[in-house]
């Protein structure tokens, strides 16, 4: 029996899509060597059903709290000593940030600064800020984002994430805090909230509802399977250098309309037909970034990380997961989300768009 002390993690936003996948990744890989506190406010996007399998795991604990409230984080850090902090907690959806930016400013900016202050006082070994390629803004037809690309965010969401990145940088420069920023491209996979493109299309095909494609569907995203993002974060946390930024990407660019058509085809093969007739072009998202594409050579060269799941396999696994977990999906669709959907799609686009 090993008497080695467990590595202690604070994972914020661990009840969300990527955070819950990351916590499960940690237990699958390091089981008895880790102890994890999942600190999450349980907003509309936080769902403890995502972590059911860990409920009886001795090294896992859930605490409800707000990263932007000093009272909540004060007691968290007073009562625990953490080796690692991984900050996933955020408002994460561009369309919601256009409807109302206030929670984005509070959680993504004020929350990150508050956590940085706590982590500094708590003397953590490493604070990893989970950021996004959206801080770089939009690309034209050519080129890739590198870690040196200028910050040029275009939505309230991406601007709030860029602001958080600058606060993380300032903590390093001013206080010598041990911090890392990772900037990842679009994730997909199990447990993603169905407001995002891929699970929204899967859910709507199941329900035989319109498939809303913004503009002409020509926008390009670089898709990465969520388990690969988790592995990259784990690598950066353990092997990365404080003060550095690491881009993470799938080298897997797709136009939105091609993704939608692919999902339709794959679901047709699984007995969910009729998808093509459901495609509905709706007015474009304001400030819609044309293209994201990541140069992930730094994390590969410096830390030896490369994704393991190719898109063909990842999208098939994702569709199969949603088809086998329809109670999870329907539970979300029938709750608060239905009000958002009504406001975002049914009221706004009622008399517009073409099939
Ligand atoms: P998500 O919306 O699924 O989950 C966010 C989680 O944060 C939820 O559990 C929510 O309850 C929690 N939360 C929100 N406000 C909080 C607060 N004030 N205090 C504590 N918890 C709070 O998001 P996601 O898609 O899992 O993204 C996680 C992180 O990864 C975000 O920081 C996001 O910017 C970043 N990211 C996401 C993607 C992507 O494609 N989804 C890509 C790159 C980076
Ligand atoms: P999304 O999943 O919201 O991620 P992000 O905006 O952060 O990249 O959207 C991915 C792409 O899909 C983006 O170009 C917007 C587009 N999109 C649609 O066409 N229809 C939709 O209903 C949604 C949610 C997104």
Alpha carbon 175 to its chain's center = 28
Kindly report the number of other CB atoms within 10 A of residue 81's CB atom.
Answer: 11
Q: Which atom of ligand 2 is nearest to the CA of 288?
A: 14
Q: What are phi and psi of 27, to 5 degrees?
A: -70, -35
1 has pLDDT over 50: no
CA atoms within 13 A on the CB side of 245: 22
Distance CA 243, CA 176 (A): 9
* Average pLDDT across the chain, whole number: 96
Q: Does residue 188 have its Cβ closer than 6 Å to ligand 1? A: no
350 has pLDDT over 60: yes
Q: What are phi and psi of 186, to 5 degrees?
A: -60, 130
Q: Assess if residue 66 is contained within a domain.
A: yes
Question: Which CATH number fits the domain that encloses residue 187?
Answer: 3.40.50.720
Q: Assess if residue 90 is contained within a domain.
A: yes
Distance CA 190, CA 199 (A): 9
Q: pLDDT at position 86, please?
A: 99
User: How close is the Cα of 179 to the center of ligand 2, in Å?
Assistant: 30
Distance CA 88, CA 283 (A): 31
Given 40, 66, 83, 134, the catalytic residue: 134
Q: In the structure, what pLDDT confidence band is assigned to residue 348 with cuts at 50, 70 and 90? A: confident
Q: Assess if residue 268 is contained within a domain.
A: no
Q: Which residues contact 135 (CB under 8 A, 6 or more apart)?
A: 151, 153, 158, 161, 162, 165, 183
Distance CA 20, CA 281 (A): 33
> Residue with the nearest Cα to atom 12 of ligand 2?
197
Q: What are phi and psi of 349, to 5 degrees?
A: -105, 15
Distance CA 309, CA 228 (A): 7
Q: pLDDT at position 206, please?
A: 97
The tens digit of pLDDT for each residue in 277-313 reads 999 999 999 999 999 999 999 999 999 999 999 999 9
Q: Assess if residue 163 is contained within a domain.
A: yes
Q: What are phi and psi of 131, to 5 degrees?
A: -110, -170
User: How close is the Cα of 131 to the center of ligand 1, in Å?
Assistant: 10
Q: Assess if residue 306 is contained within a domain.
A: yes
Q: What's the number of domains the chain is made of?
A: 1
Are the CB atoms for 62 and 15 separated by under 8 Å? Answer: yes
Q: Assess if residue 263 is contained within a domain.
A: no
Ramachandran quadrant class, 123 (left: phi over 0; alpha: psi -120 to 50; beta: rest):
left
Distance CA 169, CA 152 (A): 16
Q: Assess if residue 200 is contained within a domain.
A: no
User: What are the start-end ranges of the H helices in 150-218?
Assistant: 156-175, 197-207
Domain that holds residue 120: 7-194+223-253+287-310
The tens digit of pLDDT for each residue in 211-263 reads 999 999 999 999 999 999 999 999 999 999 999 999 999 999 999 999 999 99
Tell me if residue 133 is catalytic.
yes
352 has pLDDT over 80: no
Tell me if residue 336 is catalytic.
no
Give the residue carrying structure tokens 């239905």.
338
- For range 321-329, the mean pLDDT: 97
Tell me if residue 66 is catalytic.
no
CA distances from 276 to 51, 165, 227, 312, 342 (A): 34, 40, 30, 20, 22
pTM above 0.85, yes or no: yes
Are the CB atoms for 263 and 319 separated by under 8 Å? Answer: yes
Q: What are phi and psi of 136, to 5 degrees?
A: -85, -5
70 has pLDDT over 90: yes
User: How close is the Cα of 2 to the center of ligand 1, in Å?
Assistant: 35
Q: Does residue 92 have its Cβ closer than 6 Å to ligand 2? A: no
Are the CB atoms for 230 and 309 separated by under 8 Å? Answer: no
Q: Which atom of ligand 2 is nearest to the CA of 132?
A: 7
């Amino acid at each position: 029996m090993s008497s080695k002390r467990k590595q202690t993690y604070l994972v914020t936003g661990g009840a969300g899509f990527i955070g819950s996948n990351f916590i499960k990744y940690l237990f699958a890989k390091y089981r008895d060597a880790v102890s994890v506190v999942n600190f999450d406010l349980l907003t509309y996007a936080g769902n403890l059903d995502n972590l059911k399998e860990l409920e009886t795991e001795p090294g896992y604990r859930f605490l409800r709290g707000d990263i932007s409230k000093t009272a909540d984080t004060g007691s968290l850090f007073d009562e625990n000593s953490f080796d690692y902090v991984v900050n996933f907690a955020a408002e994460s959806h561009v369309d919601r940030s256009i409807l109302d930016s206030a929670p984005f400013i509070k959680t993504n900016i004020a929350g990150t600064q508050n956590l940085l202050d706590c982590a500094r006082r708590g003397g953590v070994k490493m604070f990893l800020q989970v950021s996004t390629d959206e801080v770089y803004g939009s690309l034209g037809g050519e080129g890739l984002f590198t870690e040196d690309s200028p910050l040029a965010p275009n939505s309230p969401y991406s601007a709030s994430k860029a602001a958080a990145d600058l606060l993380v940088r300032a903590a390093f420069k001013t206080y010598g805090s041990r911090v890392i920023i990772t900037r990842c491209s679009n994730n997909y996979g199990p447990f993603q909230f169905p407001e995002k493109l891929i699970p929204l299309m899967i859910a709507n095909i199941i329900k035989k509802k319109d498939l809303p494609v913004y503009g002409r569907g020509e926008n390009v995203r670089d898709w990465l399977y969520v388990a690969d993002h988790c592995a990259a974060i784990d690598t950066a946390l353990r092997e990365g250098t404080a003060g550095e930024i690491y881009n993470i990407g799938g080298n897997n660019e797709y136009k939105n309309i091609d993704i939608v058509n692919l999902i339709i085809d794959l679901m047709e093969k699984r007995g969910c037909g009729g998808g093509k007739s459901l495609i509905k072009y709706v007015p474009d998202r304001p400030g819609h970034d044309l293209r994201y594409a990541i140069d992930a050579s730094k994390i590969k060269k410096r830390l030896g990380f490369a994704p393991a799941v190719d898109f063909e396999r990842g999208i098939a696994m994702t569709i199969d997961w949603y088809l086998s977990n329809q109670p999870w999906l329907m539970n979300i669709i029938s709750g608060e989300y239905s009000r958002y959907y009504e406001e975002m799609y049914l009221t706004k686009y009622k008399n517009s768009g073409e099939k």
